[in-house]
Structure 1
Amino acid sequence: MATETAAAHGEEGGLVFHPMDQFIVKPLFGGTEVHWYTITNVTLWMALAVVAIFALMVLATSRRATIPSRGQSIAELAYGFIYKMVEDVAGKDAVGFFPYVMTLFMFIVFANFLGLIPMSFTTTSHFAVTIVLALCVFLTVTIYGLAKHGTKFLGLFWVTSAPLPLRPILAVIELISYFVRPVSHSIRLAGNVMAGHAVIKVFAGFAAIAVVSPVSILAITAMYGLEVLVAFIQAYVFTILTCVYLKDALHPSH
């Protein structure tokens, strides 16, 4: 996230803010056109997130000790936190999906935190990134549910506890809500991250005005602290929803 001052004097002397400029995808090696094979700032910061995860989960734990180092403590805490989440929410039979869920959580939380570094780029603010993550979850859950239960997986949409006349209506509602999952799953993450970063950029723009500069700096500090919390919460929400969807695939009947 770029936190530099986003204020410039326009032709009429007014301040012009461009809080959304920080989300522009740019090629790293010159040019203006972006193709599917172009190495961009998104590519760079996604790669850095993977490197950071490798450093924590592999390098920091390579010399495991009875008295753990800081890196080992954080890695073990993350491991235990996600393992317990999968077991508590989706059930013990979902533990086989733990590596996948753990990978999702670590990637999102590292991408969110790296995006808080000044002059960085927040990859999870882009719908193109979050929709891929959400679609992977959606397809995994759906394919596994159909493979494991066959036509019984359709019991997910048939609310047996409801009165019979209402069941067809509820089935349509359940079907629509099921296919909307990847959209809501992805927009929730991208929208929250983008909104917070945009607000910080606006406050940073007002910091150029001497009269309101102290207030703006205080607002930036408060928003930054909130964004640190949001960075973790959004990764947690995305992960716990993944566990809920896995539970539906494992136990589809209402």
Structure 2
Amino acid sequence: MTAQAGKIDPMHQFMVEPLFGRTWEVAGHSLAFTNSAAWMAATLLAVWLFMLGGLKRELVPGRWQMAVEGFTGFITGMMDANIGPEGRKYVPYVFSLFMFILFANILGLLPTALFGVHPFAVTSHLTVTGVLAIATFLIVLIVGFWRHGFHFFSLFVPHGVNWVMAIILFPIELISFMMRPFSLALRLFVAMTAGHVLMEVLASFVVSGANTGSIVLGPLIVIPSFVLMLGITVLELLVAAIQAYVFALLTSLYLNDAINLH
């Protein structure tokens, strides 16, 4: 949160900045280890540490192992329901996708600013969500053409339509298919960005109310804003989980189209 002249800029939290203000020149290009890269690394580390609990393979699993097995079972069940037995081979990718988004969303909500480190939600950047969406889209294309060849284009012709309607519907279905990575990336990006902006705005009300110096007006601003901010924070935790689930769910549905050509 950046305050200048009594004002708080809710968009400052999304700025990508080099850590310690340092950059390196490599082959004529400026490179830097940014706050975004640091939080992505923290996300990967958190996922790795969490998964260590599932590698114990204890006969009587503890809570940590049960949590890991619960997540893996959840993703496996979703793939079985949406794709069938052939979906099992794609569980590692969808599970990794789900866990990365979930942990990135949650880490971006941690109150680390209390310790001088402002949280950074990497999923609130379109470049990050775009890379995840494009990777998913490319995998769907590879699977579709690898399994079906040019017959994969039949996905864009609804079953049972005559050739006249097929000519009309084919470009519409193709455009709709090509828009999938954009909608996949934008959905996660917009949801996380909007929530973080709202929390920052409410936090600015709390700070402004505390700085009024009025024993009457101050509490009237601070208390409702703080309570609402807590409520929005709890809601954002729910949104963080839902958005990770939606991304994984849509990925499984897109893979189902490529595998089964519905």
Global fold match (TM > 0.5)? yes
Segments of structure 1 that go 5 or more residues without pairing to the other structure are 10-14
User: Which structure shows the higher helix fraction?
Assistant: 2
Partner of 2:11: 20
- Please, which of 213, 217, 223 is the counterpart of residue 226 of structure 2? 217
Q: Normalising by the residue count of structure 1, what TM-score does the alignment of the two structures yield?
A: 0.90
Q: Which has the higher contact order (CA 8 A, sep 6+)?
A: 1
2:240 and 2:120 map into 1 onto residues whose CA distance is: 14
The offset of 1:162, in angstroms, is: 2.9
The yes-or-no answer on 1:50 pairing with 2:44 is yes
Structure 1 residues 165, 122: closer, same or farther in 2, change over 3 A? same
Partner of 1:39: 33
CA contact (8 A) 2:124 2:193 kept: yes
Percent identity (aligned): 41
SS of residue matched to 2:56 = coil
State the Cα deviation string for residues 26-49 of structure 1 (Å, max 9, x = none): 101314899674211111111111
Structure 1 vs Structure 2 CA RMSD: 1.8
* Structure 1 runs, 4 residues or longer, greater than 6 Å off: 32-36
CA contact (8 A) 1:7 1:206 kept: no
The letter of the residue matching 1:54 is: W
Segments of structure 2 that go 5 or more residues without pairing to the other structure are 112-117, 210-217
Partner of 2:246: 237
The yes-or-no answer on 1:184 pairing with 2:183 is yes
2:24 and 2:3 map into 1 onto residues whose CA distance is: 26
Partner of 1:150: 149
Q: Normalising by the residue count of structure 2, what TM-score does the alignment of the two structures yield?
A: 0.88
State the Cα deviation string for residues 179-200 of structure 1 (Å, max 9, x = none): 1111100010011001001000
- Count of paired positions: 243
State the Cα deviation string for residues 193-220 of structure 1 (Å, max 9, x = none): 0100100000000002123110100110
The yes-or-no answer on 1:117 pairing with 2:126 is no
Partner of 1:105: 98
1:53 and 1:163 map into 2 onto residues whose CA distance is: 50
